[in-house]
C-alpha cells in the first residue's frame, strides 16, 4: 500500500507502545481483542489523516483496493462485506457453520 514514509514511524511507535503495555497471554482469547483495541486507539487519527475525507478517501480506496482486500481476514469480509463473502472452510475441508442463531441459509 502507498502509506508513505511519514506514517511508518507512527506505526512502529504504536507497535512498540502496544507491546510495551500489559497484554493478555498470546494463548488467551482476549489477546487479539486487546491488541486490536490498542492499535485502534493509537492509529485511528494517523490513518484517518492518511486516507483523507470524501474524494481523497475514495481515491485512497481505489488506489489500494487490492492490497486492502488481500490483507483483510475472511471472517471480516464475511461479517462486514457480505457481497464479497466466501464460505469459511475448516481444517478438515468442510464448511464451518456461521455463529448466528440460525446460521446462514
Query: What are 89's strand-pairing partners?
Result: 95
Question: Under a CB-based contact definition with an 8 Å cutoff, are residues 63 and 3 in contact?
Answer: no
**14 Cβ contact list (under 8 Å, min separation 6):** 38, 39, 42, 43
- Supply the DSSP symbol for 89: B
pTM score: 0.54
Mean pLDDT rounded to a whole number for the chain: 82
Question: Under a CB-based contact definition with an 8 Å cutoff, are residues 85 and 77 in contact?
Answer: yes
Give the integer Cα–Cα distance in Å for 104 and 9: 42
What share of the chain in percent tops pLDDT 70?
Answer: 89
Query: For residue 71, what pLDDT is reported?
Result: 84
Amino acid at each position: 500500500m502507498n502509506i508513505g514514509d511519514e506514517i511508518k514511524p507512527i506505526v512502529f511507535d504504536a507497535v512498540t507502545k502496544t507491546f510495551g503495555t500489559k497484554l493478555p497471554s498470546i494463548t488467551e482469547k482476549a489477546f487479539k481483542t486487546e491488541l486490536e483495541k490498542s492499535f485502534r486507539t493509537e492509529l485511528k487519527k494517523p490513518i484517518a489523516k492518511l486516507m483523507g475525507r470524501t474524494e481523497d478517501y475514495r481515491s485512497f480506496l481505489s488506489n489500494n483496493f487490492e492490497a486492502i482486500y488481500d490483507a483483510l481476514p475472511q471472517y471480516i469480509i464475511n461479517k462486514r462485506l457480505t457481497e464479497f463473502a466466501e464460505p469459511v472452510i475448516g481444517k478438515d475441508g468442510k464448511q464451518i457453520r456461521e455463529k448466528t442463531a440460525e446460521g446462514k441459509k
